[in-house]
Amino acid sequence: MAYEKTWAKSEKISKEEKQKLVKDGLEILNDIDKYAKEGFDAIPKEEWGLFKWAGLYLQKPKEDGYFMMRVNIPSGIITNEQAEVLAGIGRDYGRDVIDITTRQAIQYHWLTIEQMPDIFKRLESVGLSSVGACGDIPRTIVGNPLAGIDPNELFDTREIVEDVYRFFQLNEDFSNLPRKYKMSISANVHNAGNDLINCLAFTPAVKEIDGEEVVGFHVKVGGGLSAKPYLAEELDVFVRPEQVKDVAIAITSIYRDFGYREKRHRARLKFLIADWGVEKFKDKLVEYYGELPAKGTCQVKDWNAGYFYGAYPQKQEGLSYVGFNVPVGRMSSDEWFDLARIAREYGNGEIRTCNSQNLIVPNVPNEKVDALLEEKLFERIHVNPNGFIGYSVSCTGIEYCNLAIVETKERMRRVAEYLDTKLSLDVPVRFHMVGCPNSCGQRQIADIGLQGVKMKTPDKGMVEAFEIYVGGTLEKDVAQFNEKLKGKVDADELNVVLEQLLYFFKEKKRPKENFYQFSQRVGIDAIQESLDQILTAHA
């Protein structure tokens, strides 16, 4: 369908919007073969940003010409053939580094423009794509990594997710959105899709219609993190499974046509929802799509934060899925090749990625589970990880990212492993570390969020440091972002400061009380007082 760029004549739109009117982001795909032959120096600097539409960001420093690439993995479901191709790209081009992201995608580093034609060819040969993994365009769709095998899902969402994803892929009607646009589609009753932090989320629901109980979705809009986070708000509509694609098209069209384009920092859907309210937005949805029934009954019970450690029975009798911890989401290409082999030998070849940066091997006959767990790979990628490394998430950090101002990925691993040597708890504590306010590591939803900053010290000058945020959750009915504590922690002292803060938690908590419950009971002031005492002792 053709659409009118009503903002095209406005003089107030941002410089990025003006550039997109000259050259649509998807058009960069037509130039990649040319630039691959001519080399990085042939790429005009003003076009560097357009590579985001191809799923590519320039690493730090940009002038060196190395790219980070994200590959879309809708719902985190990877076939064995795809896993082999992903492993090969990491081995041949990515210096053996393969990361799992908080949106279930696969991420590479150290790629060059000369390598892109072959990488794209390999991805295309197995039905994968990096297009839209970045840029002002619908991103990869987060979903239930157990879709189709999950005893805790209302219904199988695999075909729905695939249908929606394929519609938006390479679709020029939706390649010029005001900013990035993130979707979640899940029928898992434990909110595996993190619905409240997505621009658009479909969550499991039932409704009685004409005397029959119908399964379908409720719809949430306007979630998002970054420097000004918002929790998504629910529309008063019920959507049948077969309506999801058209409803997603309508909502995305509203955002495209009415989203803000003057100030880039206010261009996300969350700001439109905050200004309009859900009633006005619903009226516009009816205008774009048509009438929809009112809400039914939500089927979300609680929030599992994307963690599936252990072996559990599937819907399919005699089969199990096995969930593993990948420390801060990072693996080598050799490990990926080994994982693909294991998935073939013990399962049906599939691998599933989680938004907790972890993975699942599904479809394992029950009698093979014990043998699978004996594989050497699972000495590091563990089915029953220690309490802190098992619940630690990190963004890429300054190692590769132009926006980050501190190291994160390896630091989070080192911090978690240190804490695991010092204390144990009767509940997990979820750590999320980020290197900048953009929050790719989803700092706001953590029990303890760590955000990188710079800090001036009297003896060492400017150093890497962290601000601490506490008490985040997406738990049903009590969802909230974590709150900032006063004070900055020198990165060199982070281990010990967190250790002592966690001792305070351990001493004051009730049995089986999780960190969110604890923070609500004792209050932010008590946690702040504890941190103040710790920082004073280290001054």
The percent of residues in the chain predicted with pLDDT above 70, rounded, is 100
Confidence at residue 354, expressed as pLDDT on a 0 to 100 scale: 98
The residue ranges of every structural domain in the chain are: 389-537
Exposure string of 175-192, with b = 16+ CB inside 10 Å and e = fewer, is: bbbbbbbbbbbbbbbbbb
- Where residue 539 falls among pLDDT bands split at 50, 70, 90? confident
Task: Assess whether 435 carries a catalytic annotation.
Answer: yes
Q: Is residue 252 pLDDT above 70, yes or no? A: yes
Non-local CB neighbours of 153 within 8 Å, separated by 6+ positions: 144, 146, 147, 186, 187, 188, 189, 204
Task: Assess whether 440 carries a catalytic annotation.
Answer: yes
43 DSSP 8-state letter: S
Task: Assess whether 310 carries a catalytic annotation.
Answer: no
CATH topology of domain 389-537: Sulfite Reductase Hemoprotein; domain 1 (3.30.413)
Confidence at residue 130, expressed as pLDDT on a 0 to 100 scale: 98
Q: Is residue 70 pLDDT above 80, yes or no? A: yes
Task: Assess whether 70 carries a catalytic annotation.
Answer: yes
Confidence at residue 23, expressed as pLDDT on a 0 to 100 scale: 96
Task: Assess whether 401 carries a catalytic annotation.
Answer: no
Average pLDDT on 331-343 reads 98
Indicate yes or no: pTM above 0.85.
Answer: yes
The percent of residues in the chain predicted with pLDDT above 90, rounded, is 97
Mean pLDDT for the chain?
A: 97
Backbone CA torsion sign across 348, 350, 351, 354: negative
Q: Is residue 1 pLDDT above 70, yes or no? A: no
- Residue-wise pLDDT for 138-147, tens only, equals 999 999 999 9
Check 354, 395, 401, 440 and give the catalytic one.
440
Confidence at residue 538, expressed as pLDDT on a 0 to 100 scale: 82
Average pLDDT on 466-471 reads 98
The three-class DSSP label of residue 168 is: helix
Confidence at residue 4, expressed as pLDDT on a 0 to 100 scale: 93
Q: Are 336 and 87 in contact (CB under 8 A)?
A: yes
Check 20, 52, 70, 352 and give the catalytic one.
70
Task: Assess whether 103 carries a catalytic annotation.
Answer: no
**How far apart are alpha carbons 171 and 249 in whole angstroms?**
11
Average pLDDT on 467-473 reads 98
Check 20, 52, 180, 352 and give the catalytic one.
180
